[in-house]
Chain A
């Protein structure tokens, strides 16, 4: 009984989202669909990075590396399964199952990469962790470039990938990442991550296995970055090592910081605004990127905690909290 209820609770968000996504996919014109796909992929990327950077307070700059692992693993799986059709299913259903499977392979591969990066890196803190994760991202890129062309296409990458990434897939991915992050944030496991962010020494002293939790945060985050990578690969139809460079990691970081570190809704909104905004400004060509950089600096100067801080949209109606008393409790009494 309990099992059935929890299964229902887990499936509910997806079942609610599905008709909307289907309708959008069915009736939306091609260009908005394309933009929406990128919005969704960026939501997956930003929210997953928020688990590491926002929840856990570890600063990772290597998200693109995990994306590329996911993208390549998904793409290779799809290429290997190109001629396969599940006999007991009609063709569209079979394609969908195979693509879902390939995305899972990509997530698994990326999470292994997350584990490999996370284990050694997490002895480091702050800036050093940032630069090491950046380094890992670059190593992953160079290693892909150094592989035999027949395997991962070296510098040219892989092309001719089937275009399976529909709005439905992207939407389900975005729902999955948001549900994952939200349930985590409201659980004891999530609170352990927050404790690490607030004070690692105290968290460890209170019985939180900080290393273990940091690695887990990394692995979860990497898995969803891998999903974003897989979705991009089969949205564009081709991938190359430079699609997932340092710039891409930075973009993800910018979305997270812009929305507010630790705020899931902040990441979602920032991913949406930035993606759509850059798309609308496309005609201004190079100036949009200059404006983007300027906005980043100005925003940090004016509102360093990001648009949402650590607040969430759903807090507005969910919590019947004594907000007034909390806000007016006065300055911290001389705490160091």
Chain B
């Protein structure tokens, strides 16, 4: 089950890299977060860690539902461009993404020998960090960059969930708080732009 959800996580992220429409991208982000939340809840039940289950539910509410909704609201309100063409042509992405994945998988190979549980998935979370960075790099528009930032947050959460079997509760709550603050700041930045235009 863990493997299945991790597969879904990476699959949604890669599909997001090829997406050319903003709402579709938000949908992929939401699915990405959904698989992450389900993953955290499953692992939490598996090892009997209540705080992990709680943070899984937080992820579900915040990242899979609330933030995509807010992003859609923002994009409607400030009429952001819905066509998001990547800077990197798809032909190159097709070669670049597998190369990136192979690189990170081999980079993480010594790590996988060191951890006992769920070792392989560290490699996947490192590669998803790089893929989210690629998502930020390959777009010029601001909205996909924000989603790239949020996906980086997701891959961090994946690493925290999988490699460490959950970070201390306090830290996770702090991270959620910062995420909310980031959303507020993004909203404010857009708002200011609106004011200046008027």
Task: Report whether chain A binds chain B.
Answer: no
Give me the interface of A with B, judged by CB distance under 8 Å: none
Give me the interface of B with A, judged by CB distance under 8 Å: none
